[in-house]
Chains A and B, each alone.
Chain A
Amino acid sequence: MKITYLVLLFIVLSIVSLFVGVSSISPLEVFSMTEEQAHIFLTSRIPRLVSIIIAGVGMSICGLIMQQLTRNKFVSPTTAGTLDSARLGILVSMILFASASPLHKMIIAFLFALAGTFIFMKILERIKFKNTIFIPLVGLMFGNIVGSITTFFAYRYDLIQNMSSWLQGNFAVIIRGRYELLYISIPLLILAYIFANRFTIAGMGEEFSKNLGLKYKQVVNIGLVIVAAITSVVVLTVGMIPFLGLIIPNIVTIYKGDNLRENLPHTALLGAVFVLACDILGRIIIYPYEIPIGLTVGVIGSGIFLYLLLGRAKHGF
């Protein structure tokens, strides 16, 4: 997995993604597009590409940071109770602001997700955790509580199916006016890169990082806020995509070790390439129809990851 190959693959797949679709636009026509072609290009193809890349990059990097901070390979970025708070937000916007536009609903849900993360961190602060296991544990329990409140009301108003369809990964619905919230995550991703070394040190434990002169609590908090914000934005606009937050960071660390700064580009690229490839395949296989991204990711991803994992096992660990 040389980084140059990943970069090349990434560029090729991005270009392919722009030119695959029902209405044909060939790469040669880019500079001489008819009005209709330009319209499709700007309202559908480009937003789709952007959202695929941000989702792939964002979720896998969040997973990596979260696993580093909690020193636990099985923590996914949704473990901090973010997703459950966002779901509660969706529910509230569905019940109270039924007529609001999708973007407004997303913003409401995003605010809920931030508020949820804030409460989660207040709880963590008061607990004075002696052990990093308490970060994901408190997150899971907090998520459970918020989740049960959501399910309770969703059950009452018969909204369970509606909510689960909202959160199902789907790039087909991405058009201009529905995905702009995703841009929030770009500055956050840059921030994540700047803080990468500090996250690596924080991952060595509280005492160790304090000895090295790191403000442990502050770094952990920044990491959690970055993860929460990116996760909720991605999940709200695109939906949940399996594997990204958990398996991709793990595969990269199996090959590359635990230096976060070095792993970040690999993880980001692998995440983006993976989603791009699956999305393109899903659009081609039963052309002109589409297979939902959740299925292609689930099936193709399982195959690839099993091969990587088992192939690795042969050479010993």
Chain B
Amino acid sequence: MGSKTKIYLLIVLAFTLVTLFLFIDLNNWEYALPRRGTKILAIIITGAAIAFSTVIFQTITNNRILTPSIIGLDSLYMLIQTFLIFSFGSTSVLVLNKHVNFGISVIVMVIFAGILYRALFKKGGQNIFFLLLVGIVLGTLFGSLSTFMQVIIDPNEFLSVQNRMFASFNNVNTDLLWLSLLLFGMICLYYFKFNKYLDVLSLGREHAINLGVDYDYVIKRLLVIIAMMISIATALVGPITFLGLLVANVAYEFMKTYKHSYIIVASIFISIIALVGGQLIVERIFSFATPLSVIVNFVGGVYFLYLLLKESKKW
């Protein structure tokens, strides 16, 4: 199978699942269709954003076990939510009004990423290894602080925190969805300037510089793009970066190529397939009795190992 055929296959599969999701057991058109539509749109947007940013992040870091969550954005999101509920209560405008909450989360996360990058790149280290270590340390700090607040918070308020700990597509605000779509569109347009560098960047820093890439400039811009994407996706549905690791690696094993034009498209569609398929299974088979991540991790993990084992048999 050529790379193009594989991509078409993924597109057809994704399309089938989306159609199935929208029209299965559809009795009440006016009520169900808009709701399912919002849900599916949220899934597509976040799935695509996560897959896309993880692939770029792994290329920049030259490390296929990392996801952007390593720089601490997920834990920062949890800290923001816990802090808001802890200090203002779960009935405050800052928590209940989704627009305000979304705005605060995105702005704080983007500012945090900006300060982190600035501080580290200014110091002259310009070392990604370093950025990641500092990110892990800060992520742990945020994690411990939120755990601490979660332990001493009122149990009723804790339920409201707990709801935000797991990504969920069941309750997405429509206005925010359109806003995120617009933001994503703008980020993607900006990204296309850098699209051509990715294949070269995956060769590593030295090679990329030798081949004439303005390494630091491109890396900084790409990191900003990643931070924006992750912040928006997380603020929209909750922490969900676990998915990125899975889909990026399945994409590499499935496509058997390192060309980013193929890998990025493939990972986006694999991510949509995983999320829509997982959501279908959760809703139809388990009737919501299990989190989406359980299904996605199990099926995705088994499929990944299968791909690796199948490949080694040929030898």
State which of A141, A301, A302 has its C-beta within 8 Å of the C-beta of B301.
A141
CB pair B124–A316 under 8 Å, yes or no, is: yes
Q: Which B277-312 residues have C-beta < 8 A from chain A?
A: 289-291, 293-295, 297-298, 300-302, 304-305, 308-309, 312
Q: How far is the CA of A145 from the CA of B296 in the complex (A)?
A: 9
Task: Count contacts between A and B, CB distance < 8 Å.
Answer: 125
CB pair B144–A295 under 8 Å, yes or no, is: yes
CB pair A298–B309 under 8 Å, yes or no, is: no
Please, how many residues of chain A have a CB less than 8 angstroms from a CB on the other chain? 47
Category for how many chain B residues contact A: 35 or more
CB pair A137–B64 under 8 Å, yes or no, is: yes
- Supposing A123-B309, A142-B301, A148-B297 touch, asked if A294 and B123 sit within 8 A by C-beta, the answer is no
CB pair B136–A306 under 8 Å, yes or no, is: no
CB pair A247–B133 under 8 Å, yes or no, is: yes
Say yes or no for A2: interface residue by CB 8 A criterion: no
Output the residue of A136, A141, A155, A309 with the most chain B CB within 10 A.
A141
Q: How far is the CA of A74 from the CA of B139 in the complex (A)?
A: 14
CB pair B291–A155 under 8 Å, yes or no, is: yes
CB pair B125–A147 under 8 Å, yes or no, is: no
State which of A74, A138, A155, A242 has its C-beta within 8 Å of the C-beta of B294.
A155
Say yes or no for B137: interface residue by CB 8 A criterion: yes
Contact residues in A for B300 (Cβ distance below 8 Å): 144
- Supposing A145-B301, A155-B291, A294-B147 touch, asked if A72 and B136 sit within 8 A by C-beta, the answer is no
State which of B144, B294, B304 has its C-beta within 8 Å of the C-beta of A297.
B144
Contact residues in B for A155 (Cβ distance below 8 Å): 289-291, 294
State which of A127, A151, A250, A301 has its C-beta within 8 Å of the C-beta of B309.
A127
CB pair B291–A74 under 8 Å, yes or no, is: no
- Supposing A142-B305, A306-B137, A310-B134 touch, asked if A152 and B290 sit within 8 A by C-beta, the answer is yes
Output the residue of B129, B151, B297 with the most chain A CB within 10 A.
B297
CB pair B309–A145 under 8 Å, yes or no, is: no
Q: How far is the CA of A242 from the CA of B301 in the complex (A)?
A: 25
Q: How far is the CA of A317 from the CA of B141 in the complex (A)?
A: 24
CB-CB contacts of B137-154 with A at 8 A, as 1s and 0s?
110110111011001000
State which of B119, B127, B132, B301 has its C-beta within 8 Å of the C-beta of A148.
B301
Instruction: List the A residue with the shortest CB-CB distance to B132.
Output: A74
CB-CB contacts of B49-83 with A at 8 A, as 1s and 0s?
00000000000000111100010000000000000
CB pair A313–B123 under 8 Å, yes or no, is: yes
Instruction: List the B residue with the shortest CB-CB distance to A243.
Output: B140
- Supposing A74-B66, A128-B315, A134-B308 touch, asked if A152 and B130 sit within 8 A by C-beta, the answer is no
CB pair B302–A298 under 8 Å, yes or no, is: no
Q: How far is the CA of A144 from the CA of B294 in the complex (A)?
A: 9
CB pair B309–A247 under 8 Å, yes or no, is: no
Instruction: List the A residue with the shortest CB-CB distance to B252.
Output: A137
Query: How far, in Å, is A138 (CB) from chain B's closest CB?
Result: 7
CB pair B295–A242 under 8 Å, yes or no, is: no
CB pair B145–A298 under 8 Å, yes or no, is: yes
- Supposing A74-B65, A127-B309, A142-B305 touch, asked if A317 and B127 sit within 8 A by C-beta, the answer is yes
Q: How far is the CA of A242 from the CA of B136 in the complex (A)?
A: 10
Contact residues in A for B70 (Cβ distance below 8 Å): 74
CB pair A305–B137 under 8 Å, yes or no, is: yes
Contact residues in A for B138 (Cβ distance below 8 Å): 302, 306
CB pair A302–B137 under 8 Å, yes or no, is: yes
CB pair B305–A141 under 8 Å, yes or no, is: yes
Contact residues in A for B64 (Cβ distance below 8 Å): 133, 137
CB pair A75–B144 under 8 Å, yes or no, is: no
Q: Which A5-43 residues have C-beta < 8 A from chain B?
A: none
CB pair A316–B125 under 8 Å, yes or no, is: yes
Contact residues in B for A151 (Cβ distance below 8 Å): 290-291, 293-294
CB pair B249–A141 under 8 Å, yes or no, is: yes
CB pair A299–B145 under 8 Å, yes or no, is: yes
State which of A74, A140, A156 has its C-beta within 8 Å of the C-beta of B289.
A156
State which of B63, B136, B137, B304 has its C-beta within 8 Å of the C-beta of A141.
B304
Q: How far is the CA of A126 from the CA of B315 in the complex (A)?
A: 11
Query: How far, in Å, is A157 (CB) from chain B's closest CB?
Result: 12
- Supposing A317-B125, A317-B130 touch, asked if A302 and B297 sit within 8 A by C-beta, the answer is no
Q: Which A128-179 residues have C-beta < 8 A from chain B?
A: 128, 133-134, 136-138, 140-142, 144-145, 147-149, 151-152, 155-156
Q: How far is the CA of A123 from the CA of B291 in the complex (A)?
A: 27
Say yes or no for B245: interface residue by CB 8 A criterion: yes
- Other than the known A141-B246, A316-B124, what 10 A-B pairs have Cβ atoms closer than 8 Å? A73-B129, A74-B66, A74-B70, A134-B308, A137-B65, A148-B295, A294-B144, A298-B143, A310-B123, A314-B123
